[in-house]
Amino acid sequence: MSRLKEKYQKTVIEKLTKEFGYKNMHQVPKLTKIVLNVGVGEAVQNVKCLESIEEYIKDISGQKPVICKAKKSIAAFKLREGHPIGVMVTLRRKKMYDFLDRLITTALPRVRDFKGLSPRSFDGRGNYSIGIKEQLVFPEVNFEKIDKVRGLNITLVSTAGTDDEGRALLKELGIPFRK
């Protein structure tokens, strides 16, 4: 079992129950999934770039990603409906906790000038989004195979009803927020 999963089951439930006054342990918010997403506007001209992105997302997540296609045609961007435009992967259960552990302990400390994550990146329903500017902060990414430095979006989806509950949950799991 993952270190974070054990921590959630033992201490996080107790602390959040006391802090928010939950009457039932099933009311305590929990992390349900983590979504990694890379949008590539360059894929309109060069579909081959999606292969390298797919490869490094697979290395980071340990799971095969899905290629996302455009829903609408936009003439200004030379984009047609159905063309591949991005790559995403959804992590749940053990892989989710393993990825979160690697993100907190390995990847975020390698970000240049890292002072903590913004506490304002919540969506109003307790979900949190992180934007990483370069994929090289993950040690699984091989530097020689990278054709271009790209970023990725990470969304932590929880069952929290409010941003305060989500923030408390992520803080207890070890997400380093800025003060």
Task: List 31's β-bridge partners, or say none.
Answer: 158
Q: What value does the mean pLDDT take over residues 87-112? A: 83
**Percent helix, percent strand, percent coil in the chain, to nearest 5:** 40, 20, 35
pTM of the model: 0.76
Inform me whether the pLDDT recorded for 44 exceeds 60: no
Q: What value does the mean pLDDT take over residues 61-65? A: 84
Inform me whether the pLDDT recorded for 45 exceeds 80: no
Residue labelled with tokens 């929290």: 160
Inform me whether the pLDDT recorded for 47 exceeds 70: no
| DSSP per-residue codes, 130-159 | EEES-GGGSTTS-GGG-SS---EEEEEEE-
Inform me whether the pLDDT recorded for 147 exceeds 80: no
What the chain holds in terms of domains, given with CATH numbers, is 3-173 (3.30.1440.10)
